[in-house]
Amino acid sequence: MNEQIRVGILGYGNLGRGVELALRMHADMRLVAFFTRRDPATIRTLSPKVPVYHVDQVLQMKDEIDVLVLCGGSATDLPVQSPEYAKYFNIVDSFDTHAKIPEHFANCDKSAKAGGKIALISVGWDPGMFSLQRVLGNALLPQGKDYTFWGKGVSQGHSDAIRRIEGVKDAKQYTIPVPEALDRVRAGENPDLTTRQKHTRECFVVAQEGADLARIEQEIVTMPNYFADYDTTVHFITQEELQRDHSGIPHGGFVMRSGVTGVNGETPQMIEYSLRLGSNPEFTACVLACYARAACRMNRDGLCGAKTVFDVAPAYLSAMSGEEMRKKLL
Amino acid sequence: MNEQIRVGILGYGNLGRGVELALRMHADMRLVAFFTRRDPATIRTLSPKVPVYHVDQVLQMKDEIDVLVLCGGSATDLPVQSPEYAKYFNIVDSFDTHAKIPEHFANCDKSAKAGGKIALISVGWDPGMFSLQRVLGNALLPQGKDYTFWGKGVSQGHSDAIRRIEGVKDAKQYTIPVPEALDRVRAGENPDLTTRQKHTRECFVVAQEGADLARIEQEIVTMPNYFADYDTTVHFITQEELQRDHSGIPHGGFVMRSGVTGVNGETPQMIEYSLRLGSNPEFTACVLACYARAACRMNRDGLCGAKTVFDVAPAYLSAMSGEEMRKKLL
């Protein structure tokens, strides 16, 4: 067994806290420091013995940290942080702006290679575990069709969009796969599904006193990109109800590969992967923790550069030895 | 793109035929020869242009084959063939005698390292894809429980056991997961399930004329190891009905990881992977085909020795380039 993997967490929001908790489940990893852009004195973590530093101090910890888990956002944090810190640390991030992944990969690859480090990007469940299942499904069943459904779960972006409407005090939006669509895919129909046929959207809205509820509802259901292409339901509830019934951040979804084999494609074959997550950030954090282990081990094995979940042999993710894995899990 | 991968198939039963068909779906691979222990002149393949040789000639093809897919059985063929041919070829096998995997791995490792080749063993769906999901589930959710259910599908071993009973002309046995057990796992109950609670067994039996049906049924349901620990149903049908309704070899199953995260394990997290296979050997063959690609590529990258699905980075399985995969599937 190699010595313990020393982990740093950069950014202490829901995701950073999730990584903090996830690391407690892995005896071969040890959290050594938090880094924040806020005043470190204002951060209350769940690990009072682990120091919180300002992000400006991170390079001073270069030799104390084997892998840095970046827990910032994809919009503005990670495009800067990942390439910057990949020069000095093995890093893992959850970059999820799909269209910009090639650029982000190239930037991280350059830095990580210059520094002789691993930059493992776009790690989470989608992109991440779902992507991995898509690669497997496509490779195993080349004659087939991919389906990804999300939910039931809270979409932060859509919830935010509702909150920006005049007269809205608070809101939570759930993305829900249409059961009939799932059933048709499972039945091997290989349907072409429109956006509307795949998901519905359900909104729980707390309106300000005296607000025009009909107008708010209309603004939501007609909102381009976010809601106009979906069947959207709006429920007005009280702040107390929102707090009581909708304070969690559940999510999940389905990746299906519906394919055929045989002499003339006469044999149906179906692969389905699904997640039902009590907490989206806590699960994403679990994925990040395992890939942090992998990043460190791959680097110890002499590898460097940008990587994704596609490049990581599953054995790198597990704390078990090869022997133990083959004995217990093969 | 590297040149086409040249594949040999050793053994032409259901599995060999499945690999033959699977390779047709992969433009970067080419089937160059079949090898058989039977008289090659008696073998009718689906690929008249591909030569069929006696297995004694396989070493003469050493330089014409990049990877040899071994399609023999785990009982007596693979324990001998895999270590033997791994000295000369990259090989892939579907060795599935669980208790003997460590020994088989060690034997193959020695040969493959001596020959500078890759021996990718125990490839299929269980062991194989299910094992991979178990490793992922265990790594992602260390506080959790594994569940594997098989079926609904045909168990060859159990069908054979019935056929050995006096008075039985033919038989087919289905293994079926108990729906209530699946539901309890999905509900996050983390139940401890007995053998009987997890699966039922359904048998379709063609009896010889005048046979004592009550005795046959009794012999089946009380058979130790095979049926005694299960709720088993026996249906007597005609040979025509067996042929008409039960000639397929469907299978499938479920791998679930039921875990928790959070400060005190308060957050339930559920991962479920399932297969619904129209043909067990055709799907297993699809898995072998992709891992044949991987074995060859890993060897081109300088790796050698025995490997399992745990050691193979997903990117090795796909014909796509890294760029294409990141763009389309991440």
Q: Summarize pLDDT for B243-258 with one digit per residue, the tens.
A: 999 999 999 999 999 9
- The C-alpha of A330 sits at a distance from chain B's nearest C-alpha, in angstroms, of 5
CB-nearest to A318 from B22, B122, B138 is B138
Angle CA A99–A105–A108, to nearest 5: 140
- B278 near B293, Cβ under 8 Å? no
pLDDT band at B186 (very low <50, low <70, confident <90, very high): very high
pLDDT score of B164: 95
The pLDDT of B129-155, averaged and rounded, is 97
The pLDDT tens digits of the residues spanning B23-62 come to: 999 999 999 999 999 999 999 999 999 999 999 999 999 9
pLDDT score of B2: 57
Q: Is the pLDDT of residue A73 over 70?
A: yes
The pLDDT of A63-80, averaged and rounded, is 96
Tell me whether residue B56 is exposed, middle or buried, using C-beta atoms within 10 angstroms of its C-beta: 0 to 12, 13 to 18, 19 or more.
Answer: exposed
CB-nearest to B135 from A122, A274, A329 is A329
User: How far, in Å, CA of A62 to CA of A66, rounded?
Assistant: 8
Q: Is the pLDDT of residue B122 over 50?
A: yes
Q: Is the pLDDT of residue B201 over 60?
A: yes
DSSP class of residue B121?
-
pLDDT score of A141: 98
Q: Tokens 């919830």 identify what position? A: A159
For helices B14-23 and B280-300, the axis angle rounded to 10 degrees is 60
- The C-alpha of A133 sits at a distance from chain B's nearest C-alpha, in angstroms, of 9
The pLDDT tens digits of the residues spanning B62-117 come to: 999 999 999 999 999 999 999 999 999 999 999 999 999 999 999 999 999 999 99
> How many CA within 13 A on the CB side of residue B314?
30
Tell me whether residue A182 is exposed, middle or buried, using C-beta atoms within 10 angstroms of its C-beta: 0 to 12, 13 to 18, 19 or more.
Answer: middle
Buried b (16+ CB within 10 A) or exposed e, B219-244: bbbebeebbeebebebebbeeeebee
The pLDDT of A76-96, averaged and rounded, is 97
Which chain A residues are Cβ-neighbours of B182 within 8 angstroms? Answer: none
Among A57, A13, A255, A23, which residue's Cα sits nearest to residue A144?
A255
pLDDT score of A3: 83
Yes or no, beta carbons of B261 and A285 under 8 Å apart? yes
Among A29, A40, A152, which residue's Cα sits nearest to residue A19?
A29
Q: Give the sign of the dihedral formed by CA A54, CA A60, CA A61, CA A67.
A: positive
Which chain B residues are Cβ-neighbours of A290 within 8 angstroms? Answer: 139-140
- A91 near A120, Cβ under 8 Å? yes
Yes or no, beta carbons of A314 and B318 under 8 Å apart? no
Which residues are CB-contacts of A141 (< 8 A; sequence separation ≥ 6)? Answer: A257, A258, A259, A260, A261, A269, A271, B286
pLDDT score of B35: 98
pLDDT score of B106: 98
DSSP result, B125-168:
BTTBHHHHHHHHHHHH-SSEEEEEEE-SEE-HHHHHHHHTSTTE
- The C-alpha of A264 sits at a distance from chain B's nearest C-alpha, in angstroms, of 9
User: Please, which residues bridge with residue A203 across strands?
Assistant: A173, A234
- The C-alpha of A194 sits at a distance from chain B's nearest C-alpha, in angstroms, of 19
pLDDT band at B153 (very low <50, low <70, confident <90, very high): very high
Angle CA A61–A65–A68, to nearest 5: 105
Q: Hey, how many other C-beta atoms are within 10 angstroms of the C-beta on A279?
A: 23
User: How far, in Å, CA of B65 to CA of B63, rounded?
Assistant: 6
User: How far, in Å, CA of B147 to CA of B271, rounded?
Assistant: 10
Percent of chain B topping pLDDT 70: 99
Q: What phi and psi, each to the nearest 5 degrees, are found at residue A187?
A: -75, 0
- A64 near A3, Cβ under 8 Å? no
pLDDT score of A1: 45
Yes or no, beta carbons of B135 and A270 under 8 Å apart? no
CB-nearest to A267 from B273, B282, B325 is B282
Tell me whether residue B260 is exposed, middle or buried, using C-beta atoms within 10 angstroms of its C-beta: 0 to 12, 13 to 18, 19 or more.
Answer: buried
Yes or no, beta carbons of A263 and B311 under 8 Å apart? no
pLDDT score of B1: 45
Q: Which residue of A has its CA nearest to B270?
A: A276
CB-nearest to B315 from A101, A140, A311 is A311
User: Please, which residues bridge with residue A289 across strands?
Assistant: none
0.90 surpassed by pTM:
yes
The pLDDT of A4-25, averaged and rounded, is 97
User: How far, in Å, CA of B150 to CA of A266, rounded?
Assistant: 23
Q: Is the pLDDT of residue B326 over 80?
A: yes
Which chain B residues are Cβ-neighbours of A26 within 8 angstroms? Answer: 142
Three-state SS for A62? helix
Q: Give the sign of the dihedral formed by CA B155, CA B161, CA B163, CA B168.
A: negative
Q: What phi and psi, each to the nearest 5 degrees, are found at residue B221?
A: -65, -20
The pLDDT tens digits of the residues spanning A276-323 come to: 999 999 999 999 999 999 999 999 999 999 999 999 999 999 999 999
pLDDT score of B3: 83
Q: Is the pLDDT of residue A258 over 80?
A: yes
- A65 near A7, Cβ under 8 Å? yes
Q: Which residue of B has its CA nearest to A146?
A: B329
CB-nearest to B139 from A134, A283, A317 is A317
